[in-house]
Structure 1
Amino acid sequence: MSATQRLWRQVKRTLNQQGWDARRLPRRAPSWQGPYLHQIYPRLETIFVHVPKTGGTSVQVALSPWANKRFTGGHTTALEFAFIEPEAWQRYFTFGFVRDPWDRLLSAYQYLMALPPELGISLQDFVRGRLLRYADDFDGFVAHLAAEPTVIYYVPHLRPQHTFLGDPQGHILVDHVARFEAIDAEWRGICQRIGIDVPLPHHRQSTPPTVHPPRYTAQSRAQVATLYQRDIALFGYATPTD
C-alpha cells in the first residue's frame, strides 16, 4: 500500500467517525476546487493551513505571488486538504500557525464585534447575532461561550485550533506548527524551508485599541482554559497570570 493510499484510508476512517459517508464524496470533488484552495502552492510544493486569528492573512499575502488562485478568504482544514488533494498533501510541506488561546480569543472578540451584523453566511450570522449583545461586555461574551461551548464550533474565529491542524483523535497532521508569538522568526525559517525570500506584511491586525480595552478576570481566564483545554495541552500554552 502506497503512502497516499494509507493517508486516504486514514482520512476516510476519520470522516466515517464523524458521521460522514466518504463513499458518497468524490476524491477530487470539482465543486471543492474553488477559491478556498488558494492555500495550495504547487510551485513551492507547500500547503498552508490558515487558522483564524494567527497571522494567516499576512502569510497568504506574502505567498500570493506563488498562488494559482486569487486570495478570497476561507479556512480549509488540514483534514479537508488531505481529503481533497491526498497526493499533494502527502508530498508537499504543510504548515500552520497557532496562537496563545487567551490572546487569540480576545483578538477574535474584537474582530467579530467590529464586523457588520450580516455576513451572508446564515449559520454564522445566527450565532454572531446572539453574541453581538456582548459588544461591550467581554466577560459576558466568555461566560456565554462557557455556558454554550458548542457555539465555538460554528464560528471559524472561535473554533479550537487543533480542529484546523489535526484530526478528531488529536493527531496533528501538518509538518510544522509555527507560533504566532514568534511569527517573524518562524516566517524566516519557513522561507528557508520552501526556498523563498519575502518579507511578511502585517495585514488585518486587531481593531485599534479602545479607551477601555477588554481584559481578562480570573474567572474568564479559567473559562477559556476549559473551552480550549485541548489546544492548551497540544500546543504547550500556559494560563496567563495577569
Structure 2
Amino acid sequence: MLFSVPKTGSTAMEVALKPWADIAFYKHRKHTPVGRYHRKIAPFLREAYALEPETMAVIRAPLEHLRSWYRYRASTLPVDFDGFVQAVLSPSPPDWARIGNQLSFLTKPDGVLGITHLFTYESQPVLRGWLCSRMSAHITFKPQNVSPHVATPITPDTLAFFDAQYADEIELHARATAAGGHLETRS
C-alpha cells in the first residue's frame, strides 16, 4: 500500500503503479495519513479480506518539502519563502500555511512510524529499483503536477528555527538517507 505524502511525487507513483493496484483511493482519501489507515482501513482489510499489506511512503528532505509547497502556492501567497516558513512555524498559521508535516503523516497516534518501507525522495533510483523488483516489471515515473521554479531564499535565523522545530522529521529523513534511501521498518 502506497501512502501519498503530499509534495513527494505521489501522483506520478500512483499513475505508474495503477496497473497493479487492487484498491485505490482518490480525491478526498488520496492523502490518507498513516494514523487513519491504522485506525480504520487496516482493521477493515484484516477483517473483510484477511489482508495485512506491506506499506510504503516517500519522505522528502524537510526544507525541500516546504520549498515544494511554497512553489505550489507561490502565485497566491502574500509573502516570500522566508515569510512562508515563518508562517508555517507560527503557533496559529494562516490557512495558506497549514500544510501539516511529513512526520505526523507517517506516524501512528503513539508517534511510532507506521509503515514498512520508507524511501527518500532524493533516492528515486532506489525506489524505482525496489518497485521494479517487486512488480517484476520496468516502472518509470512521468512528472505530474510540477510547480514552476521560484526563488526560495531563507534567512539564517528562520533556518535555525525551522531546524529546531522540524528536528524529528529531519532525523527521520537522515535515517532513511543513511539506510541508502530505503529504510525498512516494522509497522
Which of 39, 52, 65 is the matching residue for 2:6?
52
Which runs of 5 or more structure 1 residues have no equivalent in the other structure? 1-46, 116-131, 238-242
Say if 1:156 and 1:70 are closer, same or farther in 2 by CA, change over 3 A: farther
1:60-92 CA-to-partner distances (Å, cap 9, x unmatched) read: 111122344574363101121222222547621
**Rounded Cα–Cα distance in structure 1 between residues aligned with 2:35 and 2:66:** 23
> What TM-score does the superposition give when structure 1 sets the normalisation length?
0.61
Per the alignment, in what secondary structure is the counterpart of residue 99 of structure 2?
Answer: coil
The offset of 1:229, in angstroms, is: 1.9
Deviation at 1:186, TM superposition (A): 1.3
Cα distance in structure 2, aligned partners of 1:58 and 1:71 = 14
Distance 2:97 2:17 in 1: 22
Q: Select which of 72, 78, 96 maps to 2:27.
A: 72
Paired position in structure 2 for 1:203: 144
TM-superposition CA deviations, 1:161-187 (whole Å, max 9, x none): 121111233211100000000123212
Displacement after TM superposition at 1:194 (Å): 4.2
In the TM superposition, 1:144-163 aligns within 5 A as: 144-148=87-91, 150-151=92-93, 158-163=99-104
| Compared CA separation, residues 144 and 151, structure 1 to 2 (3 A) | closer
DSSP-derived class of the 1:96 partner: strand
- Per-residue CA deviation, residues 202-232 of structure 1 (Å, 9 max, x unaligned), is 212232x24xx12122122112213322211
The 8 Å contact of residues 64 and 71 in structure 1, kept in 2 or not, is answered as no
Q: Distance in 1 between matches of 2:36 and 2:159?
A: 31
Tell me which stretches of 4 or more aligned residues in structure 1 moved more than 6 Å: 154-157
Seen in structure 2, the aligned counterparts of structure 1 residues 158 and 79 have a Cα distance that, compared at 3 Å, is same
TM-score (structure 2 length as normaliser): 0.76
* Distance (whole Å) between structure 2 residues aligned to residue 232 and residue 79 of structure 1: 20
**What RMSD over aligned residues (CA atoms) do the two structures have, in Å?**
2.7
Q: Does 1:105 align with 2:61?
A: no
Q: Does 2:159 align with 1:221?
A: yes
Contact persistence 1:165–1:172 (CA under 8 A):
yes
Q: Counterpart of 2:123 in 1: which secondary structure?
A: helix
Bigger shift: residues 92-101 or 191-200: 191-200
Distance, in Å, in 1 between the alignment partners of 2:38 and 2:73 is 29
Does the CA-based 8 Å contact 2:120-2:173 persist in structure 1? no
Hey, what's the Cα distance between the residues in 1 that align with 2:166 and 2:99?
Answer: 10
Matches of 1:70 and 1:171 in 2, distance apart?
24
The number of residues matched between the two structures is: 168
CA distance in 2, matches of 1:58, 1:156: 24
Q: Which has the larger radius of gyration?
A: 1
User: Secondary structure at the residue paired with 1:188?
Assistant: helix
- Out of 116, 134, 138, the residue aligned to residue 81 of structure 2 is 138
> 8 Å contact 2:108–2:114 — kept in the other structure?
yes
SS in structure 1 at match of 2:78: helix
Q: Report the AA paired with residue 151 of structure 1.
A: P
**Residues 78-124 of structure 1, C-alpha deviations (whole Å, 9 max, x = no match):** 12122222254762110000010111101111102246xxxxxxxxx
